[in-house]
């Protein structure tokens, strides 16, 4: 094929994703978040956390229906968050396990594999990727001799940064969440695979009882002398900064995120989930998100009507609460929430009576010198 013919054929293959009415809202949205590139250094095709690659010569040999199957296979790697879920597992064996899971499903759905010799075994039907991986590790004789499409030593699940980039993992999760939202907006929520929903729900449902926590915020604020709802009538010309609006809404909430190296991708996703729930449910007039490690690395301000879609992590150094303490003293928020694993020297008390809630991640033995501490596991 000429380069022009290859491009035209690839465009046609991509367009087929949008002609499947049931799957188009989810997989079409997901595909639009990734670049599809030609890559002669690979034998067949692959997916990373930011692109899908094809060997152009191999692509040219495939029937059109098989090209569609291969593209769906790679999109499924992304949709199932296989890069994120790999963790410390052996990358090659994990790729095999995920290939078995995807190809078994595609065979059941009637996809064509003509011209390939895919990894597919009905013995793994109904097993999760993690279970297939454990089986392969425990039974080395069952380890595949070829890669995804029948080519030796050809793994199609690639982590070009070693799988350690939390920013890339967060981007992948955000892309899948956006695809889910696109499907829901098109009234195609039923077409979203249950496995994807189940995995995302581990992160997207808040685990902190915010209704109770923020109710206590309001109760504490309104019972203190410094939290007047209205200016004192004796001083009509003096406008003291009220902390709570008359409808009991927080004026300014600051949410601090520990982005040190000890914080995992799952922790960051949990942070995003908790923040989104607070903003959508309680609608503070101003929400400031502050990332920190040994210093403030990022600060974003969201007003009442500004959408929140998640954050990209900036940082990954050590941890110190000194910068957070100084930021609280300077900003004087209505209340502050600090999200950290608390493996750090405790913060010295702040001079102002500002309510502080600490969200301690995966560290049940941690203690704080002041404020309220809530332990969660991610």
> How much is the pLDDT for 214?
58
> Could you tell me the residue ranges of all domains in the chain?
3-194, 210-376
Locate tokens 């609460």: which residue?
Answer: 321
> How much is the pLDDT for 233?
37
SS (H, E, C) 315-360: CCCCCCCHHHHHHHHHHCCCEEEEEECCCCCCCCCCCCCCCEEEEE
> How much is the pLDDT for 244?
43
| Full-model pTM | 0.60
DSSP symbols for 226-292: T--SS--GGGTT-----SB-TTS-BSEEEEEEE-STT--HHHHHHHHHHHHHHHHHH--SEEEEEEE
DSSP label at 110? Answer: T
Contact in structure between 203 and 266 (CB atoms under 8 Å):
yes
Which CATH number is 210-376's, of 2.60.120, 3.40.1350, 2.60.40, 3.40.50?
A: 3.40.50
> How much is the pLDDT for 160?
65
Query: What are 285-331's pLDDT values in tens digits?
Result: 899 999 998 999 989 999 988 887 666 677 667 889 999 999 999 99
Listed as ranges, residues in the chain with pLDDT below 50 are: 162-163, 222, 224-246
Q: Minimal CA–CA distance to 132: which of 101, 88, 86?
A: 101
DSSP symbols for 12-42: HHHHHHHH-TTTIIIIIHHHHTSEEEE-TTS
> How much is the pLDDT for 104?
94
Q: What is the distance between the terminal CA atoms of the chain, rounded to a whole angstrom?
A: 49
Q: What separation in angstroms does the CA of 53 have from each of 47, 71, 85, 90?
A: 6, 10, 21, 22
Which residues lie across from 296 on neighbouring strands? 292
Please give the backbone phi and psi of residue 332, each rounded to the nearest 5 degrees, phi first.
50, 60
- What gap in Å lies between CA 325 and CA 349, rounded to an integer? 8
């Amino acid at each position: 094929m000429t380069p022009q013919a290859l491009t035209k054929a690839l465009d046609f293959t991509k367009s087929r994703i949008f002609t499947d009415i049931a799957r188009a809202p989810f997989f079409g949205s997901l595909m639009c978040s990734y670049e599809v590139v030609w890559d002669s250094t690979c034998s067949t095709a692959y997916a990373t956390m930011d692109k899908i690659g094809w060997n152009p010569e191999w692509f040219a040999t495939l029937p059109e229906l098989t090209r569609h199957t291969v593209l769906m296979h790679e999109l499924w790697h992304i949709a199932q968050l296989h890069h994120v879920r790999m963790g410390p597992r052996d990358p090659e064996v994990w790729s095999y396990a995920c290939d078995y899971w995807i190809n078994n499903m595609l065979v059941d759905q009637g996809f064509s594999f003509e011209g390939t010799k895919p990894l597919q075994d009905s013995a793994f039907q109904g097993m999760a990727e993690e279970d297939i991986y454990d089986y392969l590790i425990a039974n080395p004789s069952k380890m595949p001799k070829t890669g995804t499409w029948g080519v030796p030593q050809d793994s199609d699940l690639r982590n070009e940064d070693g799988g350690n980039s939390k920013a890339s993992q967060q981007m992948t999760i955000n892309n899948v969440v956006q695809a889910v939202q696109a499907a829901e907006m098109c009234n195609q929520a039923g077409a979203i695979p249950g496995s994807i929903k189940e995995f995302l729900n581990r992160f997207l449902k808040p685990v902190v009882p915010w209704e109770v926590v923020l109710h206590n915020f309001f109760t504490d604020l309104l019972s203190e002398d410094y939290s007047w709802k209205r200016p004192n009538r004796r001083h009509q010309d003096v406008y003291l900064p009220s902390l709570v609006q008359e409808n009991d809404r927080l004026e300014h909430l600051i949410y601090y995120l520990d982005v040190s190296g000890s914080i995992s991708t799952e922790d960051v996703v949990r942070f995003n989930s908790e923040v989104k729930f607070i903003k959508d449910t309680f609608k503070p007039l101003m929400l400031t998100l502050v990332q920190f490690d040994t210093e403030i690395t990022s600060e974003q301000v969201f007003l009442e009507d500004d959408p929140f879609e998640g954050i990209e992590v900036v940082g990954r150094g050590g941890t110190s609460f000194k910068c957070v303490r100084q930021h609280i003293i300077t900003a004087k928020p209505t209340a502050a929430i600090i999200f950290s694993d608390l493996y750090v020297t405790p913060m010295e008390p702040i001079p102002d009576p500002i309510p502080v809630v600490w969200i301690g991640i995966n560290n049940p033995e941690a203690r704080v010198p002041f404020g309220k501490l809530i332990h969660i596991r991610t």
